[in-house]
Structure 1
Amino acid sequence: MSKMKLTRAEYRVLAKFMEQLRPTRQCMKMLKDRFPDHSQSTLLSIFSLEYQKRMKRSLVKHHADVIEDYYQRYRSEASEHPSDPVLLELANEVDLSPSLLARLLLERFLEEHQGSVSSKQVVNSMLREPSLIPDVQLAKHVEQIPKLFPAFPKLCIISTIGQEHEEILREKLREKNLSFVVLTLAETAARTVLKLSKFGAQGSLRRPRTADKWIGNKLPNTGDSPLILINGDVKRRSAPHDGVNSPADENQLRAKGYDKTPDIILEVPVAVEGHIVHWIESKASFGDEQSHHTYLNEQFWSYWNRFGPGLVIYWYGFIAELDCQRDRGILLKDCFPSDIVTLCHSPDQC
């Protein structure tokens, strides 16, 4: 069975080996040959993380004047050799990821032809669907990236992978007959306010040494949720009159920190390996030191404050030593747990 959890020492060996590799089919074969005990999906996820870190460190070299030089070189080469993978060759030469160079060239092209800088949304939509790019040649070269550099699929494919794993999680919960909901921003805000009023603002924001206080505590219910549960499936009601129906209201909630919610909120808490779980977060990536600490600070502790202890599934594995917050309410797994025990709030529910 392929390994998905690594020790810090094992991860460092992997990262060191990946330092000089580029995202090609050959590099993935080299990784699999060198580390046969690790799953290909885990190796790919780790390589993507490490390559992105390398690109971020090198960004300081790619200032405006340098980007202009890349653009002019690309236009010249594309004109002289229209059938060659010019963008990919240039990316290799200047040590930039093909996807990042494609973004820089596209932004520069749109600025030149539209007279202004295009929004991030416009650029992202064109990278997702190159046929939207008004220059046929540039569109063709952008479209070549996921074919020749499979380690960096298009943005839409990355998004789809995350959605697929969320659906896998929902299906696993249905198989176990576990009821769950997916919260809107308005629902998150309402439940947070109720929780603060019930437990007191100061007490609810502390991280306890153990999760014992959450045993038997059911998640507060507002009674007018925009989502309802029918046999484990989430259905949407007509919008409630809760004062949060406009984009402006949604933006206000985001400004107050309500923009992040777990993928799954369990209607009845469960126990996994002796730990209470109120929510589950799905991550279609490997959990390395940097990304996990970012998630802890920006997402997981926020979930804990609002909903109690929970479970994070890193589907492509994680560094084993990071699973050190169990007694404080954050449990890590690399697959859906097999030993789930449903907790009861009253004798009638057992």
Structure 2
Amino acid sequence: MVILTYEQYNEIQQFIQKFRGLSIDCNRELVNNFPQHNPDTLGSILAREVRQRLKQSHAKISARADGLLADYNKKVKTTGSLDVLLKMAVSLRIPPLSLCRIILLKRFPDTTKSEVSEMIRNPDLIKDSLLGANVGYCMYNENMEGPITDTIRRCIGEEYEVKLKHMARDVGLVFYDEGDLRRTGYDKTPDLKLAIPCLYKGRVVNWIESKASFGDMETHLGYLRDQLVSYGNRFGSGIVIYWFGYLDMIADCGENGDYITIVDNFPAPEELEFLRFNIPDVYKKRLEQAKS
């Protein structure tokens, strides 16, 4: 079970906020200092903290773009080093590729944001070869954003969706997935919509949503606003699985209403109750004859 109290969660937050260095190094130190917690849980909390820090500081750092570019040019001219941008990102406490975007937009003012994203995916496209090498060095030392991280996160999300379907089939659930629902015209859809509802600890389950992340309060409230409330209104009550655990207080969050049940793993078969059909004897005989 991966359910954290506020005190446990706050301790991890404080460690991240005090850490000075790359997120990839912070992730390693988190695993070493909190061995009692799942590494995926720690990584998910770290990612959320870095996003929050970036949200608070990005505008201020972007406003300093002229000075940052001048500082980069001075240092790279002096040293010719490939890790100038990386060291600047550490001192600014900003993800390296976020700093790369700011520098590239200022260095090439006629480029669009999509063109800058393409430069980050393929640093060889950057006309300034030393700047391209610095961007590439940042990309390979980044675990919070960028093409490599995006691919890893997408694969993890898909892995847990597949895992959810396998586990649902293993316990005998019949369901429609997102593709099935979208083909019938639904826009916002849960990962699984049960064709036949079941009971989980006495509560009706009509749908199941998979989240390959840790559920903190702010993230959960965002999911409620953007997805979960509409699922509840449209399909009735359901389950949200935070595979990497959750903060204990979100399970009792008032905004969940009677629609949302929070868990950190797929329910055990003995926790589920299935609808039993009372089939008349005459039809039972016909079914037995059909099988034989």
TM-score (norm 1): 0.68
Q: Is the 8 A contact 1:269 1:342 kept in 2?
A: no
CA contact (8 A) 2:3 2:264 kept: yes
1:198-245 per-position Cα deviation (integer Å, ceiling 9, x unaligned): xxxxxxxxxxxxxxxxxxxxxxxxxxxx37xxxxxxxxxxxxxxxx8x
- One-letter amino acid matched to 2:43: L
Which of 135, 155, 160 is residue 160 of structure 1 equivalent to?
A: 155
Query: What does the per-residue CA deviation read over 1:299-334, in whole Å, with 9 as the maximum and x for residues that have no partner?
Result: 110111111111111111110111025761201111
User: Equivalents in 2 of 1:167, 1:34: separation in Å?
Assistant: 32
Shift of 1:62: 1.7
Q: 1:318 aligns with which of 224, 246, 251?
A: 246
- Between the aligned partners of 2:73 and 2:279, the Cα distance in structure 1 is 72
* Cα 1:259/1:23, change in 2 over 3 Å: farther
- In the alignment of these two chains, the number of paired residues is 274
1:144, distance to aligned residue in structure 2 (A) = 3.0
Of 343, 346, 349, 2:274 maps to: 343
Q: Which amino acid aligns with 2:87?
A: E
Aligned to 1:68: 66
Query: What TM-score results when the alignment is normalised by the length of structure 2?
Result: 0.80
The 1:58–1:331 alpha-carbon spacing in structure 2 relative to 1, beyond 3 Å, is same
Contact 2:62–2:102 (8 Å) recurs in 1: no
The corresponding residue for 1:39 is 38
Structure ranking higher in helix proportion: 2
Deviation at 1:48, TM superposition (A): 1.4
Offset at residue 98 of structure 1 (A): 1.1
Unaligned runs of 5+ in 1: 189-225, 228-243, 245-257
The alignment-based identity, stated in percent, is 30
Deviation at 1:139, TM superposition (A): 4.2
- Closer, same or farther: CA 130–342 of 1 in aligned 2, 3 Å: farther
1:328 alignment partner AA:
D
Change beyond 3 A, Cα 1:75–1:345: farther
Cα distance in 2 for partners of 1:162, 1:270 equals 25
Query: Structure 2 regions of 5+ residues with no counterpart?
Result: 285-292
Q: In 2 relative to 1, CA 324–132 (structure 1 residues): closer, same or farther, beyond 3 Å?
A: farther
Residue pairs, 1:131-210, within 5 angstroms = 133-135=125-127, 136-145=129-138, 147-150=140-143, 154-183=149-178, 187=181
Decide whether the 8 Å contact of 1:312 with 1:332 is kept in 2.
yes
CA gap 1:124/1:271 in 2 versus in 1, 3 angstroms: farther
Instruction: Say what the alpha-carbon RMSD is for the aligned residues.
Output: 3.0
1:162 Cα deviation after fit: 1.5
Query: Aligned with 2:252: secondary structure?
Result: coil
- Tell me which residue corresponds to 1:202: none
User: 1:148-297 counterparts in 2 under 5 A?
Assistant: 148-150=141-143, 154-183=149-178, 187=181, 226=183, 259-297=187-225
SS in 1 for 2:140: helix
- 8 Å contact from structure 2 (residues 89, 95) kept in 1: yes
Q: Which moved more, 1:169-178 or 1:274-283?
A: 169-178
SS in 2 for 1:347: coil
Kept in 2, the 8 Å contact 1:277–1:309? The answer is yes
Query: Structure 1 counterpart of 2:233, which letter?
Result: N
